[in-house]
Structure 1
Amino acid sequence: MAKYLLLKHYRGAPACANDVPMDRWTQEEISAHMKYMHDFAARLEETGEFVDAQALAPEGTWVRYDGAGRPPVTDGPFAETKDLIAGWMVIDVDSHERALELAGELSAAPGKDGEPLHEWLELRPFLSAPPTVTE
């Protein structure tokens, strides 16, 4: 088994034809999207592939130690882009191919007018220790 992180990005401006900013969705469209996400996670819980998931608030802050005592703080989450990470899901699957399959399915979550978003998801494997050689 290998763990992967699925990062769900939100863009303030559309990234594709089906990517209408969520502030222009109806409450029913938001509910349908959230139900899809919940049902997807519930199905993966049944197969043992779900580890954890969380939606994130749009507010954020960048913090970096500067060596002078008080860290500089920048309102964020990103200083120079309208993109932000809207949420994440951790899956534990048998193969990279399975991780790709699940990411593709999650990309089809419904958006405005119930149409699949076809959104880009960032799929990142967890860093693992290199294999040890035993003789």
Structure 2
Amino acid sequence: MAKYLLLKHYRGAPKAVNDVPMDQWTEDEISAHVQYMRDFADKINATGEYVDSQALAQEGTWVRFDGEGKPPVTDGPFAETKDLIAGYMIIDVDSYERALELAGELSAAPGKDGKPIHEWLELRPYYGSAPTITE
């Protein structure tokens, strides 16, 4: 088994095919999207492949130690930036191919008008769990 992190990029580059900002979705469209995510997590929890997931707030803070005492803090990232990490999911699967399969399925979450958003997900193996890439 190998653990992977799926990072959900919102309005990132490359852009999703159905890239309508979430503030233009109806409450029902947002609810359908969130329910899809819950159903997906429940499905892979049943197979033992689900580890954890969380949605993240749009607000954030950048922190970087500068070598001189207290680290500087800068507001951001902000929702109007080019890219925002909206959340993550951790999976524990038998193969890189299975991780790709699950990421592809998660990318089909519904968005505006119920159409799949074709969201780009960043798939990253945990350090020390090198994937077996066959391509």
TM over 0.5: yes
1:72 correspondence with 2:72: yes
1:18 paired residue number: 18
Query: What letter corresponds to residue 15 of structure 1 in structure 2?
Result: K
Please name the residue that 1:133 is paired with. none
CA-to-aligned-CA distance 1:37-91 (integer Å, 9 cap, x gap) = 000000011000000000000000000111221211111126x942111000000
Q: Which runs of 5+ in 2 are unaligned?
A: 131-135
Q: Which residue identity does 2:109 align to in structure 1?
A: A
| Structure-1 residue corresponding to 2:118 | 118
Q: Is the 8 A contact 1:12 1:21 kept in 2?
A: no
Q: What's the counterpart of residue 55 of structure 1?
A: 55
RMSD of the TM alignment (CA)?
2.1
Residues 1:32 and 2:32 aligned together:
yes
- TM-score, normalised to structure 1, is 0.89
Q: Which segments of 5 or more consecutive residues in structure 1 lack a partner in the other structure?
A: 131-135
Distance 1:113 1:19 in 2: 12
Q: % of aligned pairs identical? A: 77
Distance 1:54 1:95 in 2: 23
Cα offsets for 1:82-117 (capped at 9, x unmatched): 211100000000000000000000000000000001
Structure 1 equivalent of residue 133 of structure 2: none
Q: Structure 2-normalised TM-score?
A: 0.89
Runs of 4+ in 1 over 3 A off after TM superposition: none
Q: How many residues align?
A: 129
Counterpart contact for 2:3–2:129, Cα < 8 Å: no
